[in-house]
Amino acid sequence: MPRRIIDISQPVDASIGVWPGDSPFTSEFTWDMNSGASCNVSRISTSPHNGTHADAPVHFLPGGEGIGERPLEPYLGPCVVLDGPAEGLIQPQLLDGIDLAITPRILVRTRRQPVTEFREEFVSLSVDAARWLAEHGALLIGLDTPSMDPFASKTMDAHHTLLGAGIAILENLDLSNVRPGNYELIALPLRWPGLDASPVRAVLREIPAG
């Protein structure tokens, strides 16, 4: 029996909530069959951080890798989905007991729904939790919120810790229809050399019982 695929990506259109000051998503057809063109061809303008996306080291680390240079291994393979807090910071206690040899990719569900208006209050990762992931050899951490660090952070310590350790970052996941447990993650970024982030079409595949 085919394994069920669960789409955990946010839809991206002009209604999506955008980090204050960042570039909104816009689209238009530059060739339009309704106007006599032989086919439809569109043009988009967007920040690579809109919707579900992967951060690259160069986002915060001068001289760091762009998203197009990142290895793909962290974005593909076994993962675990955890129920996290509904507010505040994710602490390392939530991660205790995870066997990273089995599930080196961790997604934390805070039950945040995709929103059309950006909200500054969201769950983020504590620096202690980021250090736990770095010390234990995690490959990837993903949240269903806009950032690993709180909105008001000026130093972005969680990002620096994770990216400095080579840990892949996914943000703005949609985990609202996912139960905690083990899955296979597929969330490949685009091959955009030198860029600070990339949209991903993130999905989970269920692991057969037994």
205/71 Cα distance (integer angstroms): 21
136 among known catalytic residues = no
The amino acid sitting at 151 is: F
Vertex 199, ends 90 and 72: CA angle to 5°? Answer: 80
Hey, what are 83's tokens?
């129920």
Hey, what are 110's tokens?
């805070």
HEC assignment per residue over 97-157: CCCCCCCCEEEEECCCCCCCCCCCCCCEECHHHHHHHHHHCCCEEEECCCCCCCCCCCCCH
CB atoms within 10 A of CB 152: 7
98/110 Cα distance (integer angstroms): 18
The residue from 49, 59, 136, 159 that is catalytic is: 59
Active site residues: 59
